[in-house]
Chains A and B, each alone.
Chain A
Amino acid sequence: MIRVEGLTKVFQDKKRGAVRALDQVSFEVKPGEIVGILGPNGAGKTTALRLLATVLKPTQGTAVVAGYDIVREPEMVRSRIGFLSGDMGLYGRLTPREILAFFGRLSGMEPAALKRRSDEVVSMLGMAAYADTRTDKLSTGMRQRAAIGRTIVHDPPVLILDEPSYGLDVPTARLIENFILEARRGGKCILFSTHVMEEAEYLCDRIVVIHEGKVRITGTMEDLRAATGKTRLREIFLDLLNIREEPMEAKA
């Protein structure tokens, strides 16, 4: 469902010159599978997700998302993905229902079908009580539900989630986890980036670790354990980045 082949992105920076944010990255995500992209800040995770969402164009390589090429058929790709990020990206002056209607219309949904789907999403996410309240008046949890609703209103087969639980409290982060697991049960193809190792360990069928724009390893938790000899994902991650966990005294 997502097949990434030699994806490379070079940015031109006035101070640093050509910056290779992503270098020959390849991996795959199948339907009904959750794949997590891990990496430190600046590793290229967000760039990879933006390339797959076609908001950036690759310098080299390509990817096929839901059967469409990201370079040649970007609009077809965008109509088959749902994109969610930790900062939600909600229009504060619109209500959740208006946001669903807006994104549904952009996806080309017919008014009657959109109305049905919108009601279904509102009911499914328990938003009925505040679906007609401006989102800037809602709590974080309510807004996160509205953001999830926006992501799935057009029922996309592929979900691309950029640190979806970033900055959220435990109950709201739990909401995201449940959403991801539910989407997998529905046969969706899910690619998400995170800094929360426990979340990745709990949710992901496979993990892709990126560092300095390159893929360091791809595999299941068992594959990663076998490759590094470590047990916990946090230790595996640091090992792959060649960072040793040192006691505080040693640092002092």
Chain B
Amino acid sequence: MKPAVVFTVYRKELLEMTRDRRTLISMVLVPIIAIPALLGVATFFVSSSQKQAEQEALHIAVARQSAMPGLERALSAAGFKLTPSADPRGAVERKQVAAAAVEGQSDKGEPVVRLYVDASRPGSLVAANKIRAALDGLKAAAIREALAGSGVPEKVLTPFGVEQVDVAPKGKMAKSLIGGMIGYMVILLMFSGCMYPAIDMTAGEKERRTLEILLCSPAGRNEIVLGKILAATTAAFLTALLNVLSLTWAFQSGMMGPEMHKLLEGVHINASAVLLVLVAVFPTAVTAAAVMITISLFAKSFKEGQSYLTPLILLVVFPAMIGMMPGVEAGPKLALLPVFNVTQLIKSIFTGDYTLSSFLLPFASNLAYAAVAFVVAVRIFKREDVLFRS
């Protein structure tokens, strides 16, 4: 093995990568601009649809003639704009109002307030919750009044109070949220950022008939494939780096909308956490590169390579997504599960909830996967039936 030859191949691959528009888009443009922008837009839409739902929820219908004393007053006091209607249910169905509250009788003949809601409309669900809160107040007032009439002290209703104390350090929830999201995005984009270069330097070279010429050069197969894996690893790692930096910036700068900004108030992501995340993803970057090089070696053309690797991306999405979810934590066995373990690790780095052993176990297992993937890639690269598949 001649390191100079490996470096020559590596440098050539990097040079080609920087001149390939597809690679530049997936490696640089998507993590730096597209993903933070998309998240910003998504947050904006969620936030504005919430505002719209709140506005819509203010308009509800009631029966024209109300028999229940205080109902309309309680609803008005809760801020609702009431529309008396002969057909309250129809008014909800026709989307004239968000919900309707109509007093009536249950099957047992007891008084009941029936809520008409359209569960497919967020505004209707918000209205229903608010109506329930207003009715709870009305109910409590009626009970208080009855108790006062019977001479029973009101205190009997609350023999003791309940207080909830959050022991999580300040901002841990927010950090867990950011860690989960960054972990998911980084892993996903790392694989997709590595995909085009990996296909280009294998199936693409086959298609352009340059691979045979390269194999006729004095460079050995080990040196060629090592140079290619290093270049694909660089692409994966660079995508991860840019993605971590741009997402961290996006979360901290407030471009994710006022709700997210409020949630993250006082939360600072330090440089050492970002650095540790990059160390944590490195073995996965090598694995991604080696696996993608191996798979796309079987393809005869760039298109064929894409169709081979797209399912792999989907396969990665699933464990990465589970790892992103708040509350999901990896035990010792799950810490060996590739992709899932690294998203978990990233999350724990951001929350500061990791120990040396909880870091080393997934890290070492991912290093082992990277070594296996590398050995497999070298072996496949030596197979004539794969390189000259016709």
Tell me the minimal C-beta distance from A123 to chain B in angstroms.
23
Residues of chain B within 8 A (CB-CB) of A57 are: 384
Residues of chain A within 8 A (CB-CB) of B4 are: 105, 108
Q: Which of A55, A87, A107, A150 contacts B218 (CB 8 A)?
A: A107
Contact across chains for B219 and A91 when beta carbons are under 8 A apart:
no
Q: Name which of A56, A75, A160 has the most chain B CB atoms within 10 A of its CB.
A: A75
Contact across chains for A106 and B219 when beta carbons are under 8 A apart:
yes
Q: Give the segment of B11-19, B91-99, B241-249, B348-356 that binds chain A.
A: B11-19
Tell me the minimal C-beta distance from B385 to chain A in angstroms.
7
- Do A75 and B8 contact each other (CB < 8 Å), given the known contacts A85-B212, A89-B209? no
Chain A stretch 61-105: residues in CB contact (< 8 A) with chain B: 75, 78-79, 81, 83, 85, 87-94, 98, 102-103, 105
Consensus secondary structure, chain B interface:
helix
Q: B213 an interface residue at 8 Å Cβ cutoff?
A: yes
Bound-state CA distance A106–B212 (Å) is: 14
Residues of chain B within 8 A (CB-CB) of A88 are: 209
Residues of chain B within 8 A (CB-CB) of A53 are: 215-216
Q: Name which of A78, A83, A88, A105 has the most chain B CB atoms within 10 A of its CB.
A: A105
Q: Which of B12, B209, B384, B385 contacts A102 (CB 8 A)?
A: B12
Q: B5 an interface residue at 8 Å Cβ cutoff?
A: yes
Residues of chain B within 8 A (CB-CB) of A90 are: 210
Tell me the minimal C-beta distance from A180 to chain B in angstroms.
18
Contact across chains for B8 and A56 when beta carbons are under 8 A apart:
no
Contact across chains for A89 and B218 when beta carbons are under 8 A apart:
no
Residues of chain B within 8 A (CB-CB) of A91 are: 12, 16, 208, 210
Q: Mark B360-383, 1 if CB is under 8 A from A, else 0.
A: 000000000000000000000000
Tell me the minimal C-beta distance from B292 to chain A in angstroms.
20
Contact across chains for B20 and A93 when beta carbons are under 8 A apart:
yes
Q: Name which of A55, A75, A83, A92 has the most chain B CB atoms within 10 A of its CB.
A: A55
- Do A93 and B218 contact each other (CB < 8 Å), given the known contacts A56-B384, A85-B209? no
Bound-state CA distance A54–B210 (Å) is: 16
- Do A94 and B15 contact each other (CB < 8 Å), given the known contacts A83-B213, A89-B212, A105-B8? yes
Q: Mark B17-58, 1 if CB is under 8 A from A, else 0.
A: 001100000000000000000000000000000000000000
The interface on chain A, measured as residues whose beta carbon lies within 8 A of the other chain's beta carbons, has a size of 32
Bound-state CA distance A91–B200 (Å) is: 11
Residues of chain B within 8 A (CB-CB) of A83 are: 212-213, 216
Residues of chain A within 8 A (CB-CB) of B8 are: 102, 105-106
Tell me the minimal C-beta distance from A45 to chain B in angstroms.
14
Q: B338 an interface residue at 8 Å Cβ cutoff?
A: no
Q: A242 an interface residue at 8 Å Cβ cutoff?
A: no
Bound-state CA distance A193–B15 (Å) is: 33
Contact across chains for A89 and B208 when beta carbons are under 8 A apart:
yes
Q: B388 an interface residue at 8 Å Cβ cutoff?
A: yes
Bound-state CA distance A3–B304 (Å) is: 39
Q: Which residue of A lies closest to B18 (CB)?
A: A93
Q: B120 an interface residue at 8 Å Cβ cutoff?
A: no
Contact across chains for A106 and B5 when beta carbons are under 8 A apart:
yes
Contact across chains for A87 and B217 when beta carbons are under 8 A apart:
no
What are 19 sample pairs from A and B whose C-beta atoms fall under 8 A apart? A12-B385, A55-B387, A56-B388, A57-B384, A75-B220, A78-B217, A81-B216, A85-B212, A87-B209, A89-B213, A90-B210, A93-B15, A93-B20, A94-B15, A105-B5, A106-B218, A107-B217, A108-B5, A160-B216
Nearest first, the 7 A-B pairs at minimum CB distance are A89-B213, A83-B216, A79-B218, A93-B19, A55-B215, A105-B8, A87-B209
Q: Beyond the given A102-B12, A106-B219, could you list 19 further A-B residue pairs with CB under 8 A, ordered by the A residue number?
A: A50-B212, A55-B216, A75-B220, A78-B216, A78-B217, A79-B218, A81-B216, A83-B213, A85-B212, A89-B208, A89-B209, A89-B210, A92-B208, A102-B8, A105-B4, A105-B8, A106-B8, A106-B218, A108-B4
